[in-house]
Chain A
Amino acid sequence: SYELTQPPSVSVSPGQTARITCSGDALPRHNAYWYQQKPGQAPVLVIYKDTERPSGIPERFSGSTSGTTVTLTISGVQAEDEADYYCQSSESSGPYEVFGGGTKLTVL
């Protein structure tokens, strides 16, 4: 079955830049999406179509893509950005959707 691979955890100090990667063979052919989930809350979309930011999401959130890897970058990390982050994309033989295993972002 198709998998999207994320690092389990990333730690940064406030004001630094956090980068969370997501790898998958089909990523060059399908859009990727990123969701932020804080404890006890539903996920929130923070990036769509690899690089687009929904209205209301701070500019410090950005997305990029290179080959089979997509990256969520949070510039000038703030304490409120501490959360779990999930990438999501499609599988070519689908249509069906897959989530990465999630990355816990810790703000030191």
Chain B
Amino acid sequence: QVQLQESGPGLVKPSGTLSLTCTVSGDSISSNFWTWIRQPPGKGLEWIGYIYHSGTAYYNPSLKSRVTISIDKSKTQFSLNLSFVTAADTAMYYCSRVNSYGAMDVWGQGTTVTVSS
């Protein structure tokens, strides 16, 4: 059974960097795409970006200048860094697997990140 688990600080200061990690179990991280999605309180889903096991990453153009997604196959983890955060980056952050059909078929439970001083 594939499981994903997000981890990282729940509070980040404005202008700081948000850093989250997604740990994958039950599947090889050396296949599929792996993706990050966020959801501000009371709002809809926003795709942040995804990474392939080769390390090639693609980002939402609206966030591209501030986002880096990386992968660590030895730890079966992939990570999200979002720099220069503001209150608008306060959200629930989810990691997910993108399967061979392009579907986000397995999701983590999500982790809440609040940007505040």
Q: Which A positions have Cβ atoms within 8 angstroms of B? A: 1, 31, 33, 35, 37, 42-45, 48-49, 52, 54, 86, 88, 90, 94-102
Contacts and interface: CB of A to CB of B under 8 A. Distances in A.
Contacts of A54: 103, 105
Given A31-B101, A33-B102, A42-B107, A94 B58 contact: yes
25 contacts: A1-B61, A1-B62, A33-B104, A35-B104, A42-B94, A43-B107, A45-B104, A48-B103, A49-B103, A52-B101, A54-B103, A54-B105, A88-B104, A94-B58, A95-B58, A96-B47, A96-B58, A96-B59, A97-B47, A98-B47, A99-B37, A99-B45, A99-B46, A101-B44, A102-B44
Given A48-B105, A88-B104, A99-B45, A42 B58 contact: no
Interface string B13-54: 000000000000000000000010100000011110110000
B94 A33 contact: no
B10 interface: no
A18 to B, nearest CB: 19
Contacts of A90: 102
A48 B44 contact: no
Interface string B90-104: 000010000001111
B47 A45 contact: no
A45 B44 contact: no
Given A1-B61, A102-B45, A31 B102 contact: yes
Contact of B44 (A94, A96, A99): A99
Contacts of A88: 45, 47, 104
Given A1-B61, A96-B58, A96-B61, A33 B103 contact: yes
B116 interface: no
B69 to A, nearest CB: 13
Contacts of B61: 1, 96
